[in-house]
Amino acid sequence: MARTIVITGVSRGLGKALADRWIEAGHTVSGCSRGGDAENRVDAVDVGDDAAVGRWAREVLDRVGPPDLLVNNAGLINANAPLWSVPPDEFRRVVDTNVAGTYHTIRHFLPAMIEAGRGVIVNLSSGWGRGTAPEVAPYCATKWAVEGLTQSLAQELPPGLAAVTLNPGVIHTEMLESAFGASASAFPDPDAWASRAARFILEIGAKDNGKALTAP
């Protein structure tokens, strides 16, 4: 059955790979990225900007209705550095995208999902949202925040809806390269990952509400 899907951060990496797989499978996908891509119908939205997310949500809801699946994928990582050396502006950008951005999309899309009585919210987490590593403290902090935010949200949702976190595993993306350097190439690329994860995500339902999941 075709689904209506909203996903953030689709210009590259995991988001692009998932969106491509779902479009190929016949699902209706509305995606955004900070820069946008008119040729590929990717809307330009900074998820850290609540007003911009609100405008985008109204356009999407008017066009395709409430999503069956909302995936908060957009994310930033800080350049490797001990916490005291991370510039304040960089720290703020990571928090605004990873935490506030997740809140903004939920705030603007969830009421329509509640009214429809259905829908799944998948918030991308990380192994560093359930553990830690040096020199990526801002990123770890945001992913731990996403885990807590999602658990609380799951307790607030009415029957028929679900909110989960998803640890995608270790995937060769630009974000991983920023942390791992050349050794990032030893891990699967986004397309290989999405060949399994796209179906796995579509199988998440109300029964999974509140779970901290890991992609296969």
Q: Parse the chain into domains and list their residue ranges.
A: 4-214
pTM of the model: 0.94
CATH number listed for the domain at residues 4-214: 3.40.50.720
CA atoms within 13 A on the CB side of 64: 17
Known active-site residue 139 = yes
* Per-residue pLDDT in tens (0 to 9) along the chain, 216 residues: 899 999 999 999 999 999 999 999 999 999 999 988 866 779 999 999 999 999 999 999 999 999 999 999 999 999 999 999 999 999 999 999 999 999 999 999 999 999 999 999 999 999 999 999 999 999 999 999 999 999 999 999 999 999 999 999 878 677 667 777 777 677 778 999 999 999 999 999 999 999 999 999
| Catalytic residue (one of 56, 103, 139, 144) | 139
In what side-by-side order are the strands of the sheet with 28-33?
42-44, 28-33, 4-8, 69-72, 119-124, 161-167, 212-214
